[in-house]
Amino acid sequence: MKRESFDITYIRKFAPRRFDCFDFIPSVGASGGILVLWNSAIFTGTVLDKQSFGMTVSFSSVHNNDVWKLTTVYGPCDEPARTNFINWFRDHDIDDLDNWIFLGDFNFYRSLSNRNKPGGNLSDTLVFNDAIGHLGLVELPLKGRAFTWSNMQSNPLLEQLDWFFTSPNWTLDFPNTEVLPMAKITSDHIPCKITIKIFKDTKGKSIPLLRTFG
């Protein structure tokens, strides 16, 4: 979010009133910054972990006590923070029963084809994929878009730096989880919306229960 602090007055300028709980990680200069905002009438949130590059919140549904975890990240570009970040990510302990979603700007790509230009760092892709494999995470594909970031130059460098992963159990409990790119507004990143559809109305239409914006 690239802001040093948030208060409820500022949040009211862009979020509906029902989003009444939040926590954040401040930006440092022009990089970093994470805001997690939720509706306490639907979920009780408990912050489990807060680092300069990521935050984990456990949500418990007030309707049925289902518990799921969200880890949202903003991967640093420079060493040694970058290595600290990937080690922190790799060290998460994911239980078979956990419904856990990881998302955000990792500042890593998985393959050299996640760039529109030649070059790129192959050993970087190995470091990232090793962490994903070690955690056993499942990638949620971004529908209809290959890249999420642009360096905003004419003839731009485009890369996929934003990623969405779930624990294996998530794919069983919430099989209809979709990531959709939204219209680009002002950032060098594409905003993305995750919709998790878990039940159907009387006409058989899926109802989105939960939305996450990254």
Ligand X SMILES: *[C@@H]1O[C@H](CO)[C@@H](O)[C@H](O)[C@H]1NC(C)=O
Contacts with ligand X by CB under 6 A lie at 96-97, 99, 121, 123-124, 127, 169, 172-173
- How far apart are alpha carbons 21 and 113 in whole angstroms? 39
Does residue 199 contact residue 209 with C-beta atoms inside 8 Å? Answer: yes
Among positive and negative, which fits the CA dihedral 40, 44, 49, 55? negative
The residue among 82 and 193 lying less far from ligand X, judged by its C-beta, is: 82
In angstroms, give the least distance from the CB of 147 to ligand X.
19
In angstroms, give the least distance from the CB of 99 to ligand X.
5
The residue among 23 and 173 lying less far from ligand X, judged by its C-beta, is: 173
For residue 58, what are the CA distances in angstroms to 47, 82, 160, 167? Answer: 6, 25, 27, 14
In angstroms, give the least distance from the CB of 114 to ligand X.
14
The residue among 62 and 97 lying less far from ligand X, judged by its C-beta, is: 97
In angstroms, give the least distance from the CB of 196 to ligand X.
14
The residue among 123 and 153 lying less far from ligand X, judged by its C-beta, is: 123
> Taking Cα atoms as reference points, which of 143, 151, 155, 156 lies closest to residue 189?
151
- How far apart are alpha carbons 110 and 93 in whole angstroms? 22
